Structure 1
Amino acid sequence: MSRGMLPGKRRSAALQSFSFRKPSDVDIILDDEDEHSFVSSYTNLDKISGQILIKCGKDSSFHELEISFEGVTETYIEKVATTAPTSGRTIGRHRFLKLLQPIDPSLLPENRVARAGVLYTFPFEFVVPDRLLDQQCTHRVDSPQVHEAHTRVPPSFGDPMLAGDGQTLQDDMAPEMSKIQYMIRARMVKARATGTRSSDVTDKAIKVRIVPAVDEDPPLNISEDNKDFELRKEKDVRKGLFKGKLGRITAEAPQPSGFRLPALKNQSGCPISTMTTVNLRFDPIDDKVQPPPLGSIVSKLRAQTFFGSVPFRHLPSRSSVNAWDTQRGFFVQSVELSSRCISSVEWRKHDGMGSSTASLSRRQSNFSDLSMASTENTPDPSSAYRPGSPFYTAKVLVPMSLPRNRSFTPTFHSCSVSRTYVLDLNVSYHTPGATVSTPSIQLRLPIQISAEGNPDATVTISEEEAEAIATREVDEELAEGRFSSRSLAPPMQIPEYSETQPRVLPAFQGLRRQSEQQQGPPGYSLAGWGGSLLRGGVATTSESLSAFQTAARANSVSVM
């Protein structure tokens, strides 16, 4: 495109507004900019293209023009102190992405002096990467899984102008102490004298919203003593606050399937839903006690945000965060998903013939089995169960949908910011004499939010890039010792073998002569090797060694 020409209404309006701006100004125009949206949204492998418009009010010399696509994480932690002079913040900033646009030298002004009143146009095109480079996560980690999670592209996070669908502002439940921002940036840099820092003739950036494609990870392996989740819980059922027991109720549920955010270009308006099942069991103290009637089930989604001014060496959790840590912080916010009346759910009675205390002991040793969806709908007996006695079971289906008045980011872990989700399920029931409050039993399940990518996106790389990637992978393999050069061709020269007589101590001379006179046991002679084998598999005759040399020459392979 020639200088001074701006296609479209958006470019015409930008050109007309230049006369009311600063002497040196920059405008960034995106090709797919929607006039009905205040921010453009992209995912992995999407192209971000547009033009940089530069117009100066006076002649301005510059040394370099830089057009980049950048991703930055900013965090801070408030220091808690009893005295004012010791209060303050610990700030962390990490630029995890910076892609530079090559600029055609013919588009630059002569002698790198931008003339006053002349509009200069520079096109750009970036591709949102599928992953970050390994060099972006160089700190120490406790496992390779942490490094793999830190090199995924994180979503835009914590910026109220970018939360939502680009058309309406929504709360993404992120604290202001953590932000992840992406931007297209244009800078004109003017070099100063040697030994001094360069100055910016002009600097302009616009934000873009990135929602990366995220696949759902396998279920967590949760131990019995885990403090963050409760996939199974038992509770005594009483007649009243200070009255006797009626039995013991048990609730358990597998890890549910996560919520799946649709692709950015396929926003159909359908609710984002999932479902889980809560299995209940009641073990009465005697055969005459009936199970308590069920009341309601309430599901809530807890959005947990972990942030720090220093990188995380592990995947953070609620139990691993110290409230007095001056380098890391934690923020949580809940939103209700559903509330259903389950009074119509009926208990089913079992005679107890197929139950035993052995299944209870297996549950205690294999508690992590609840991490996977189980085909068995009957929970294992509680600690108060009497073998052979009858018990009751019930199954409750819990459908859930994400509310439309909130913005949900996919589950992610970066070097200094993480977002995870926990599903809280509260099952209430009624007991005779309970007038103060309705008793209930709660479960805490891990749940993920994943996101679909662009189905039409394809990875396009040049031949030079493919060759460079292949060379780097081979170099890495050789550096790690995975490859070793070898040749399967016959050797050029057959090595000579010479027999070496072992030195035998005098005390063992008699034993050797005695063993040579003995005949080897049946089945230990090898035809074609010309010798016998003694006990223990040791050859003593020279014929066996000569035969070994012949076989070695016939089957030799040179390993370099």
Structure 2
Amino acid sequence: MPVRTSMSTSPSEASSSLSAHARKFVFPRSDIQIHLKNHFKTKTYTSSSIVSGDVSISTQRDVRFDSIEIILLGTARTKTDGYSAPHESTHTFLKLTMPISESVYPVPRVLEGARGLSVPFHFVLPNFLTIGACTHKVESDQLKGQHLCLPPSMGSWARGNWEKDDLSPQMADIEYTVRARVWKQPELQARPIKIMESVKSIQVLPTFQEDAPLSITKNDRLYCMSKTKSIRKNLLSTKLGKLTVSAEQPRAIMLRPDGQLSTGTTAQIDLKFEPVCAGAAPPKVTAVSSKITAHTYYSGGPINSRPNMGDFVKPGISDRRGVYSTSVSLPTMTPTPETQTWTAHQARRDSGYFTDTAPENTASEGEEDDDNDRQHRRRRRRTSTAFANLVRPSKQQQGQPPPRPSPSTTVYHTSTTHLPIARLPTSKKFFVPTFHSCITSRAYTLHVSLQVAGSAGSGNTTLSLALPLQIGVEPPSGGGGGGGGGGNIRRRAGAAATTTRGEEEALPSFEDAVEDAAVDEFFRPRVLSVPEVAFMETSVLPGYGVR
């Protein structure tokens, strides 16, 4: 038979649990809250934004304390796979401490239960970090400057406050928080004890200007700037020619300071078709599709190079590293005959110089063009005959006529296609700007796929490119994107800039111009070298001879 086990609670245990439950209502826990001015759940702060408010502390009984700390903290966290357990790295790149006046503290320093305490604070988000935020070695000064820029909020804040995906993984997180703490010093040499703490996260989207285009090499595996394929009518037929698709890095896409809207950009795609024979017609681009891929790089240690250049996760690196990539599709574009124009480039066999003809779909039929073509053929025939006489004199001596030159052959066709990107799909996605920090980075690639048909009824050939794409953030235009107060500073700066420009437009006086010329002459670089032999043994003044 199964054995029934009866569980009983002693009167002492019941009374202790009841007393603990009663104490929870008789003596509620102390409360500390952070209140931000002009703040709402999805508000975004940017560079030079003001983060201000107050910290309210309330207790149900008297509590002795020694100090109150209010800080604005910026922290980056990464998680990588370890040998036995995941490895977590933390980098605190920003720490702003609010100085609290002695007049704010009560005397004595006791939080009274009957009355609360309110402590104001005021922070301004910097445009750049201090040098101490990045102390490890990097490969260039430019990368050092990028590590000293404020990174944007990424990860936990967007997942908790936005109903949007910021395309970041769980392994990389950047968070900005306002923290308020109440400390108590039990003894003179002992460590302080934290009595209360409150944390409030904010969304930060710093300003990122457009950078110079990247210098892509064959070692940069993330990008593909050019692609070449053979064009055929079908799988078993001979090839019609070779098609090369190439492009350059497009202009950056700029986000608004709140990250809700963006500007557009255009990618220029150059096509070059080299036919096998002169009669082969260039192919037709039937469709152009594109997508934006976000690459989030994270590392357990400091990153000393651009993670999007070279091979970030190549073997032999001691640091634990990883990359997370996800894509967002863009609308497909179908080129029209008006937008797809091929230009034929012809070569003259007598000299090797190339000449460009008019576009094939806009060829001219005037009499002047016909005369020019006839003159060009006669000139080419005479030059080719003279060249044949020089190269093959033995055949000329035997009385054999030189071979008749063939007409001018088409060497290649070129065309240009523009792929417009109106704006980013920010309605469902939150795009973090391109940035590089010490342990995490974000980069973007624009993947472009062209479907090309060699002739009517033939199969399509797909050529794909992976172009670097930068996403930046525009500076705030008016009142300081984060909390009121920044507009006056910018207006004063704008007035000062206007005054400076007015002074520069006025012509300087004659004395100032002479003085500036003297200063420029003094600081002009000079070349020091050994004097010539003619001037090495002259110890007398010029014009006076030695008797």
**Normalising to structure 1: TM-score of the pair?**
0.68
Match of 1:33 among 39, 44, 56: 39
Separation (CA, whole Å) in 1 of partners of 2:143 and 2:466: 24
Partner of 2:249: 255
- Matching residue's letter, 2:274: D
Do the aligned partners of residues 129 and 349 (structure 1) sit closer, same or farther apart at CA in structure 2, a change above 3 Å counting? closer
Q: By how many angstroms is 1:96 displaced?
A: 0.9
Partner of 2:335: 342
Separation (CA, whole Å) in 2 of partners of 1:398 and 1:63: 63
Separation (CA, whole Å) in 2 of partners of 1:349 and 1:28: 66
Partner of 2:445: 422
RMSD: 3.3
Runs (5+) with no aligned partner, structure 1: 1-17, 80-85, 360-386, 462-487, 489-532, 548-560
Match of 2:77 among 63, 74, 77: 74
Q: By how many angstroms is 1:250 displaced?
A: 1.2
Separation (CA, whole Å) in 2 of partners of 1:534 and 1:293: 69
* Counterparts of residues 179-328 of structure 1 (less than 5 Å): 179-193=173-187, 196-224=190-218, 226-264=220-258, 272-317=263-308, 319-322=310-313, 326-328=319-321
Deviations 1:479-523 (A, max 9, x none): xxxxxxxxx9xxxxxxxxxxxxxxxxxxxxxxxxxxxxxxxxxxx
Q: Does 1:332 align with 2:353?
A: no
Q: By how many angstroms is 1:283 displaced?
A: 1.2
CA contact (8 A) 1:291 1:347 kept: no
Do the aligned partners of residues 297 and 453 (structure 1) sit closer, same or farther apart at CA in structure 2, a change above 3 Å counting? same
Runs (5+) with no aligned partner, structure 2: 1-23, 355-407, 481-485, 491-518, 520-530
1:162 is paired with a residue whose SS is: helix
Q: By how many angstroms is 1:227 displaced?
A: 2.8
Separation (CA, whole Å) in 2 of partners of 1:88 and 1:33: 39
Partner of 2:168: 174
- Matching residue's letter, 2:460: T
Identity of aligned residues (%): 28
Deviations 1:36-93 (A, max 9, x none): xx243211111111110001122211221001111111111013xxxxxx42122211
Q: Does 1:103 align with 2:100?
A: yes
Q: By how many angstroms is 1:447 displaced?
A: 1.0
Partner of 1:537: 535
Deviations 1:283-313 (A, max 9, x none): 1100222222221101111101111121111
Deviations 1:313-365 (A, max 9, x none): 11212642226655221111111122112253544241413899899xxxxxx
Deviations 1:349-392 (A, max 9, x none): 41413899899xxxxxxxxxxxxxxxxxxxxxxxxxxx952432
Separation (CA, whole Å) in 2 of partners of 1:422 and 1:42: 26
Separation (CA, whole Å) in 1 of partners of 2:125 and 2:453: 54
Partner of 2:526: none
Separation (CA, whole Å) in 1 of partners of 2:465 and 2:113: 68
Aligned residues: 417
Q: By how many angstroms is 1:20 displaced?
A: 11
1:146 is paired with a residue whose SS is: helix
Do the aligned partners of residues 336 and 393 (structure 1) sit closer, same or farther apart at CA in structure 2, a change above 3 Å counting? same
2:142 is paired with a residue whose SS is: helix
Q: By how many angstroms is 1:155 displaced?
A: 0.6
CA contact (8 A) 2:282 2:342 kept: no
Separation (CA, whole Å) in 1 of partners of 2:120 and 2:264: 42
CA contact (8 A) 1:174 1:305 kept: yes
Separation (CA, whole Å) in 1 of partners of 2:300 and 2:203: 23
Q: By how many angstroms is 1:22 displaced?
A: 4.8
Partner of 2:55: 52
Separation (CA, whole Å) in 2 of partners of 1:286 and 1:260: 46
Partner of 2:346: 352
Q: Does 1:162 align with 2:153?
A: no
CA contact (8 A) 1:349 1:390 kept: no
Match of 2:475 among 453, 478, 481: 453
Q: Does 1:140 align with 2:137?
A: yes
- Matching residue's letter, 2:467: L
Deviations 1:107-150 (A, max 9, x none): 21222111124211111110011110011111111111111111
Deviations 1:258-282 (A, max 9, x none): 1110133xx8x76632112212121
Separation (CA, whole Å) in 2 of partners of 1:407 and 1:270: 10
Separation (CA, whole Å) in 2 of partners of 1:538 and 1:340: 76
Do the aligned partners of residues 281 and 87 (structure 1) sit closer, same or farther apart at CA in structure 2, a change above 3 Å counting? same
Separation (CA, whole Å) in 2 of partners of 1:534 and 1:290: 68
Q: By how many angstroms is 1:434 displaced?
A: 8.5
Separation (CA, whole Å) in 2 of partners of 1:58 and 1:125: 29
CA contact (8 A) 2:253 2:264 kept: yes
Partner of 1:121: 118
Separation (CA, whole Å) in 2 of partners of 1:120 and 1:96: 31
Separation (CA, whole Å) in 1 of partners of 2:148 and 2:301: 16
**Normalising to structure 2: TM-score of the pair?**
0.70
Which structure would you say has the larger RCO, counting Cα contacts within 8 Å and 6 or more residues apart? 2
Separation (CA, whole Å) in 1 of partners of 2:175 and 2:249: 32
- Misfit runs of 4+, over 6 Å: 18-21, 354-359
Partner of 1:520: none
Deviations 1:458-492 (A, max 9, x none): 6969xxxxxxxxxxxxxxxxxxxxxxxxxx9xxxx
Separation (CA, whole Å) in 2 of partners of 1:21 and 1:169: 38
